[in-house]
Each structure stands twice: as C-alpha cells, then as structure tokens.
C-alpha cells in the first residue's frame, strides 16, 4: 500500500468516464468537494491481499495519525494508481479502500470512486506536515500449527522400535538419533570443526572478508574439486533423464506464490529492494523451475518431467553465530532437480529411484550416509507397505520421524546425512514429495483434455556442494591417513626428482600422465627428498613417484601409494592403468595450478 497524504485547503473532483474496472457510483459521489481536508491518495499493491485486515488497519492508523497532527476530522480517500507500478487486482483495491473508509470512525469521509477517469483540483496548505508519504507492508499471516513428533527406527525387517532404544547399535545413526531427540550435548563449545582448519590449511576455501558473512572465496584447489563435483552431479542428472535449465537468483515477493512458498520453507530470507519492489534471493531453484513448469503446455505423455539446475548461488540469511565453514553459509551451491509426476503413486516410484542416486553418491564420495525418513502420520498409515519395501531394498535401518500434521509443502521426505566430528548431522542428498506447489504455482497437465495437477518431487542428488566437501573433510579428520577420493584429488600423482639432473626425465613422466588425463605435478623445489615426500603427504597426494638414476635407467618407478601406505614398483604405463582404474568413469579435469610446485603462489 502506498499513501500520499496532502493536508489541503480544499480538494474537489469530478467523475468523467468509467474504465472496465469502474465500480458503481451514486450520483452524489460523481462530484464532491471537501475543505480543510486530509486527502489520502492511495495505491493498493500486490501483496496487500496477504492480510487484507492488517493492510486496512495499518493504512487507517496512518491516516488517523496524520489527521490528528494536522487537526482535521475530514478525510478524502482518492484512488491513485500512479503511486506504484506493482498494483493489486481491482477487486482487492476496492475491498481495501472500502475497509479503510469503514475504519475511519469519527471522521467525515468521502471515498472517490475506483476505476473512473476523474478531474481534480487540490490546494495544499504548505506547512511542514502538509505533504507526507507512507508505505504499508503487512506481513502475511503464517499459521503455526502445533505438531507432535515421534521418532522410531525401522530395520530392514520392517519392524519399528523407539529410536531411543537403538542408540548403542550404530555409531553414526546413534549420533543422529541423539541429535534429533534433543539429547545432544555440545562437545564443540569454543572449538572450530576440523574441516574449517583443513579447508584453510589445504588452500581450498576461506571466508571472503569484503563480502557479507558466510560468503566464501574458492582458491584453485578448492575450485577444482568444486568443479569436478559439479560435473559429477550434472552427469548424474542428465543420465537420469533430467533436462538442465537455468533460472534467475532474485524473485519478487509481491507475487503471492513466491511469498507463500518462501514462508512455508521457513528459512531466513535474503531480502533486498529493487526500486520500490521487495525482492528476495532464492534459497533453491524451486521458484524459477515452477514458473517454467507453469508456462509449459504439458500432457500426461510429458511426465515425468525432470528439470535440473545447479543453483549457483542459493542464499539463506543465517545468523552470524550459525555460520560454520562449509556446513552452513549465507551463499551456497545447490544442485536441484524437480520432477513433475502424474500422481502420488508415480512420485513414490521416482522417489525410490532418486534416493538410490543419493546413496550411490555417498559410495562414490567415500561418505557414510544415514537415512532420516520424515512423513506425516497420515501418509505413513496410507503407505506403510511401500515404506517398509523401500527400507528393505536399501538393507539398512532408517530413522523414522512421524509428524502429527503437515506444516510444510511436503508430505514425506528422506534426508541422507553424514555425521561430523562432534556428532552432529550434515544433511546432504534429499528427496521430498511436494503436494502444494503445483496448486500454488498453477502447474498443470492435460489428460484427454482434462486438466490435472502433478505431484512434484524436490531432489538434491548429492546435496549442497559445500556440504559435500564438508562431509568429506569431517570424515577424513579422524583417519590416520586422510585423503580425497582419487578422482577428486587436486593432484593425483606427484613426481619428485632426486636431483636436477633427473628433472627432464621427470618432466617427461608428468607429460605422460597429462596425456592420459591424469593430474600430475612436479616438485622441483630446493628441499630434501624427505621433506618433499612429507609435503606431498600433507597435500594428500594419492601416488608419490620418486625419480633417481635407477628409475631413469630402468623405466621402473618407485611409487608410494597413500591409500595402502605401501611402496611398490611400477612402470609409467602400469601406474597410468592403476590410476585410470581407480578413477573409472568419474569426471576428469586438468590440473589448474602450475605443474612445477616452485612456481605456485601461496594463497594463505
């Protein structure tokens, strides 16, 4: 709502011609004049209908406040669309203006008719309070239902047991149970999670001091890992049949669907102004994908419709005290897939497929994921057989959370979580069955000419990129020989010449690995062999090759294999074969740092 309040010697108007939105008007109101009057020019905006009563109440209160200050009891309400470019519907505008008129008890009020071309003459008094503007932005009412939560464990045998009885049987799942039941005792007061030290020590990621809190800078090694993960999830999505799209990062809160979905999500919103418009930065790719689905002409033959986007970036306005390295930021990278399904039964089928993708990503990344299945009691009761089948197929216990009622857009979801060093979950892949968004965003498909609403799956196939890296680092923090999966290691092979006379041969070896699409570098620094080997270990290099006279003469390399913590001999061809076998079909990218370590700058 926009108000322009003019204290006037007089204000008069005359109706000229009606538009197609013109309300019916009595002859007595086709022309009117008031003296010593507070004229309230009024534009009702998009979003004012989120809570019409609040809009009316706050607008009337603003008018009464100024009327009292300028000491007049006469008010003219005058529709004036030129105050805003984001107008509400005519029906809402009329309802609000009538409401404001009715709320100004004790005042002499004339409301100029809506939807008419009118001439008017006004004489402003010219004192300091004679020209004032107000912007009214009532918040939408969000109903907070009281919901009861019950926690269980379901094993592969399909039997439920109270979650509290399971805590001694599986370390990671037990930690998640304790956390979800609110029994977690903080072990990290004043202590940084290990991954924060590791991400800096390894020159992967750091906070950006010139940006907002919780925004990161990615250094070359970290950027390389991030880019490989991005390629990895892209391949997963495309191989699964999802079509990549790209949508904006900023959305208009005046759109009711956007506002309601943001409120339902319950996350802190990054808001900003674009001129007079209230905007928000997305927290996922939902808004853009749903807008795209709405504008498509879909038939049943088009389903399932799978769209994928790497949401770079997504935003949540986390509190400063909650921002934690790679685990929780204000700007993050979220691979996001949405699947429009024919109905709930179809959605259940694709839910299971997409959950398998999430578990497979854990296997590929060396992360142990535990499953937390959340649903309403009603959905569980109607689908207990399917849920038992789902858990039996995965062959491991799931934590089950049953909600007494639905407060989100989803009726069920499954989160896959790693556990950090302090026993807290790091939620990564997720699959959710959404029963609201098709209605809210007017997404539809046609079957035999009849309009239907799809059921929509929200899926992040591997979870946020930052959290994936966080999970890897936290998992490795307690390992005696920590390392990245070989396909993610920034350097996969390091070649160390014993002296400068072996430098040329070492360069040939590096070139051979490069030709085989293996990331290899050369430690040509003026350091002892022992120190170079130790530094390669600090960099978590999977294969270390030391080159001396014997290696150059025989072509047989001395190789230290980090994973097995063993030394072996192998030719260049044999080592290439072994690395390729370890990398398999995972994405490959070239080394993005200088091959010679002596030429690398220090970032931290």
Decide if 604 is inside a domain: no
Q: Do 462 and 233 contact (CB within 8 A), yes or no?
A: yes
Tell me, yes or no, whether 127 and 6 share the same domain.
yes
Phi and psi angles of residue 51, each rounded to the nearest 5 degrees, phi first:
-150, 85
Decide if 143 is inside a domain: no
Q: Dihedral (C-alpha) 531, 532, 533, 538: value to the nearest 10 degrees?
A: 90
Q: What pLDDT was estimated at residue 173?
A: 86
Tell me, yes or no, whether 337 and 318 share the same domain.
yes
The residue out of 67, 102, 135 marking a domain boundary is: 135
Domain range for 297 is 149-476
Tell me, yes or no, whether 318 and 458 share the same domain.
yes
Q: Do 2 and 135 contact (CB within 8 A), yes or no?
A: yes
State the angle between helix axes of 465-476 and 194-201 in degrees (0 to 180), rounded to the nearest 10.
100
pLDDT-flagged residues of the chain (< 50)? none
**Cα 450 from chain centroid?**
34
- Alpha carbon separation from 337 to 314, 340, 452 (Å, rounded): 14, 10, 21
CA distance 597 to 203: 14
pLDDT tens for 267-313 read 578 888 888 778 899 999 999 999 999 999 999 999 999 999 999 99
CA distance 528 to 522: 14
Question: Which pTM was predicted?
Answer: 0.81
Q: Do 565 and 481 contact (CB within 8 A), yes or no?
A: yes
Decide if 24 is inside a domain: yes
Q: What pLDDT was estimated at residue 186?
A: 60
Tell me, yes or no, whether 454 and 494 share the same domain.
no
CA-angle at 341, arms to 336 and 342, nearest 5°: 170
Burial grade of 311 (CB within 10 A; 0-12, 13-18, 19 or more): buried
Tell me, yes or no, whether 200 and 252 share the same domain.
yes
Q: What does the block give as tokens for 397?
A: 């216990």
The residue out of 442, 476, 510 marking a domain boundary is: 476
Beta-carbon contacts of 1 under 8 Å, excluding residues fewer than 6 positions away, are 42, 43, 44, 45, 48, 55, 58, 59, 96, 134, 135, 136, 137
CATH number at residue 366: 3.30.930.10
Tell me, yes or no, whether 127 and 174 share the same domain.
no
Decide if 517 is inside a domain: yes
Q: Which of 286, 401, 419 is nearest to 340 (CA)?
A: 286
CATH number at residue 559: 3.40.50.800
Count of domains for the chain? 3
Decide if 191 is inside a domain: yes
Dmax (CA) for the chain in angstroms is: 109
Map residue 59 onto helix, strand or coil.
Answer: helix
Q: Which of 333, 322, 310 is nearest to 268 (CA)?
A: 322
Tell me, yes or no, whether 492 and 472 share the same domain.
no
pLDDT tens for 475-533 read 999 899 999 999 999 999 999 999 999 999 999 999 999 999 999 999 999 999 999 99
Tell me, yes or no, whether 419 and 281 share the same domain.
yes
Tell me, yes or no, whether 532 and 465 share the same domain.
no
CATH number at residue 96: 3.50.80.10
Tell me, yes or no, whether 115 and 174 share the same domain.
no
Decide if 554 is inside a domain: yes
Q: Do 426 and 327 contact (CB within 8 A), yes or no?
A: yes
Tell me, yes or no, whether 346 and 494 share the same domain.
no
Mapped to the 3 state alphabet, what secondary structure does 362-418 carry? Answer: HHHHCCCCEEEEEEEHHHHHHHHHHHHHHHHHHCCCEEEEEECCCCCCEEEEEEEEE
The residue out of 444, 476, 508 marking a domain boundary is: 476
Decide if 470 is inside a domain: yes
Decide if 10 is inside a domain: yes
Tell me, yes or no, whether 554 and 429 share the same domain.
no
Beta-carbon contacts of 221 under 8 Å, excluding residues fewer than 6 positions away, are 202, 203, 204, 490, 593
State the angle between helix axes of 256-265 and 286-294 in degrees (0 to 180), rounded to the nearest 10.
140
Q: Which of 170, 229, 465, 541 is nearest to 364 (CA)?
A: 229
Map residue 26 onto helix, strand or coil.
Answer: coil
């Amino acid at each position: 709502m926009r108000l322009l309040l003019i204290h006037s010697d007089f204000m008069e108007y005359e109706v000229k011609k009606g538009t197609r939105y013109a309300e019916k008007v009595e002859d007595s109101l086709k022309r009117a004049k008031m003296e010593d009057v507070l004229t309230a020019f009024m534009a009702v905006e998009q979003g004012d209908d989120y809570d019409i009563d609040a809009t009316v109440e706050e607008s009337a209160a603003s008018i009464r406040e100024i009327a009292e200050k300028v000491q007049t009891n006469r008010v003219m309400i005058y529709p004036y669309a030129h105050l805003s470019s984001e107008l509400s519907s005519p029906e809402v505008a009329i309802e609000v203006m009538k409401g404001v008129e009715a709320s100004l008890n004790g005042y002499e009020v004339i409301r100029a008719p809506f939807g008419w071309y009118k001439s008017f003459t006004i004489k402003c008094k010219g004192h300091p309070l004679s020209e004032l503007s107000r912007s009214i932005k009532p918040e939408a009412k969000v109903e907070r239902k009281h919901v009861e939560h019950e926690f269980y464990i379901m094993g592969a045998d399909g039997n439920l047991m109270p979650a509290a009885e399971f805590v001694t049987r599986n370390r990671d799942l037990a930690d998640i149970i304790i956390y979800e039941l609110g029994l977690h005792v903080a072990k990290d007061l004043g202590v940084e999670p290990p991954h924060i030290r590791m991400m800096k020590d390894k020159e992967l990621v750091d906070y950006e001091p010139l940006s907002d809190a919780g925004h990161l800078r990615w250094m070359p090694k970290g950027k390389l890992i991030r880019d490989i993960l991005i390629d990895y999830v892209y391949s997963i999505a495309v191989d699964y049949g999802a079509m990549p799209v790209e949508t904006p990062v900023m959305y208009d809160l005046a759109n009711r669907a956007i506002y309601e979905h943001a409120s339902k999500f319950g996350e802190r919103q990054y808001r900003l102004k674009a001129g007079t418009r209230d905007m928000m930065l997305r927290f996922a790719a939902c808004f853009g994908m749903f807008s795209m689905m709405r504008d498509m002409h879909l038939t049943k033959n088009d389903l399932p419709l799978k769209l994928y986007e790497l949401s770079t970036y997504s935003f949540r306005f986390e509190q400063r005290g909650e921002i934690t390295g790679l685990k929780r930021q204000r700007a993050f990278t979220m691979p996001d897939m949405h699947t429009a399904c024919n109905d709930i039964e179809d959605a259940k089928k694709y839910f299971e497929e997409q959950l398998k993708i999430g578990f497979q990503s854990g296997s590929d990344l060396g992360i142990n994921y535990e499953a937390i299945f959340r649903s309403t009691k009603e959905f569980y009761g109607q689908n207990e057989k399917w849920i038992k089948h789902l858990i039996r197929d995965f062959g491991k216990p799931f934590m089950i959370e049953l909600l007494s009622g639905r407060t989100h857009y989803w009726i069920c979801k499954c989160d896959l979580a790693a556990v950090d060093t302090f026993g807290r979950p790091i939620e990564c892949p997720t699959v959710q069955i959404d029963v609201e968004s098709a209605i809210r965003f007017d997404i539809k498909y046609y079957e035999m000419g009849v309009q239907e609403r799809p059921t929509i799956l929200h899926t992040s196939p591997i979870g946020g990129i930052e959290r994936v890296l966080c999970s890897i680092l936290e998992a490795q923090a307690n390992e005696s020989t920590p390392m990245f999966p070989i396909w993610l290691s920034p350097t996969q092979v390091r070649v160390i010449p014993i002296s400068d006379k072996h430098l040329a041969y070492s360069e040939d070896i590096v070139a051979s690995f490069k030709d085989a699409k293996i990331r290899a570098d050369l430690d040509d620094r003026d350091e002892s062999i022992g120190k170079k080997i130790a530094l390669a270990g600090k960099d978590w290099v999977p294969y270390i090759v030391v080159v001396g006279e014997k290696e150059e003469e025989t072509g047989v390399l001395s190789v230290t294999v980090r994973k097995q913590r063993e030394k072996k001999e192998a030719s260049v061809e044999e080592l290439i074969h072994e690395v390729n076998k370890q990398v398999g079909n995972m994405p490959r990218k070239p080394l993005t740092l200088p091959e010679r370590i002596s030429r690398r700058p220090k970032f931290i």
